[in-house]
Amino acid sequence: MSHGKFHVRPDATGEFRFHLVAANGEEILGSEGYTARASCLKGIESVKRHAEDADAYERTISASGRYHFNLRAKNGEVIGTSQSYGTSEAMEKGIGAVMRIAPDAAVTAP
């Protein structure tokens, strides 16, 4: 059992966002804003379906030299974005965590 959870909550503009949170409380993946809660929950289901596909992860480096990754659906749409990491090794550990945790993570939603 992963003990990770997807937390769903509205942001300051009223859009719903999800965050995949590891057992230690660290947020490892976040979503874009969704206007409807149901759409946000569908986004979580998409993450769960794609999380174990190593080819679904797009790795990037910012202009400031920080690393992050996007999880993409088969249609190319970004369905989750990571936090920023200081090293590529830390980013790879984050990808590994999403691959392990997301498929069976519980969903907590208001």
15-24 pLDDT per residue, tens: 999 999 998 8
Decide yes or no: CATH 3.40.50.300 for domain 5-108.
Answer: no
Query: What pLDDT, in 10s, does the model give residues 47-81?
Result: 999 999 999 999 999 999 999 999 999 999 999 99
How are beta strands 5-10 and 106-108 bridged, if at all? parallel
Beta strands in 51-108 (DSSP E): 57-61, 67-72, 78-81, 106-108
Q: Average the pLDDT over 16-40 and give the result.
A: 94
List the structure tokens of 7: 């937390």
Here the tokens at position 14 are: 């009223």
- 65 close to 45: Cβ distance less than 8 angstroms: no
How confident is the model at residue 1, as a pLDDT? 47
